[in-house]
Amino acid sequence: MTAVTDELRSGPFAGMSEAQLHRLGACASLVRYAAGEAVIAEGAAADRFFLILEGEVALSAHQPHLGRVALESIGAGDLLGWSWLAAPRVWQLDAHAAGPVTTVAFDAACVRRAMEHDHELGYQLLQRFVGVIAHRLQASRLQRLDVYAPQGGPRPT
């Protein structure tokens, strides 16, 4: 557990108290995925979330005739998964390891219980997740702008 807690001191959980990190660490374990292995599956219960330590995970959706279409890559230092926070608590997308991936995997039910028990921990976590969600939303909006499209505007080259 100490090793897991150590992994939480930097990155998205930086700034949380030692006691809060230990509470989170008690709900977490190191989990590794081989290249191509599924990390989450659309429609399944969102009973975990992840801090990516190494490697890259591709968030994707399956489309008829196209197969698996990647929407976004989640890399080292990123949090993966927020469907565990809100009903209906099922994954909205698939995710698979783009290569060998090491994660800290959190038991969502355990974290929710800790948040209920310690509202300050809940506040700290929600503050961080809202930041992540807002940030990804901004990135998605930039993606939607399709800035490299041929009609995207004149360029010197």
Pattern 19-38, binding to other proteins, x per CB under 8 A? --------------------
Q: Which stretch binds other proteins (CB under 8 A): 9-17, 86-94, 108-116, 137-145?
A: 137-145
Q: Which stretch binds other proteins (CB under 8 A): 13-21, 85-93, 120-128, 143-151?
A: 143-151
Judged by beta carbon, residue 58 or residue 101, the one nearer other proteins is: 58
Judged by beta carbon, residue 88 or residue 156, the one nearer other proteins is: 156
Q: Does 88 help bind other proteins (rule: CB under 8 A)?
A: no
Judged by beta carbon, residue 2 or residue 63, the one nearer other proteins is: 63
Q: Does 145 help bind other proteins (rule: CB under 8 A)?
A: yes
Binds other proteins (CB under 8 A): choice among 34, 86, 88, 156? 156
Query: Is residue 37 helix, strand or coil?
Result: coil
> Any residues with CB less than 8 A from the CB of 52 and at least 6 apart, and which?
74, 75, 76, 77, 78, 79, 80, 101, 102, 103
* CB of 114 closer than 8 Å to CB of 32: no
104: burial class by Cβ within 10 Å (0-12, 13-18, 19+)?
buried
Q: Does 142 help bind other proteins (rule: CB under 8 A)?
A: yes
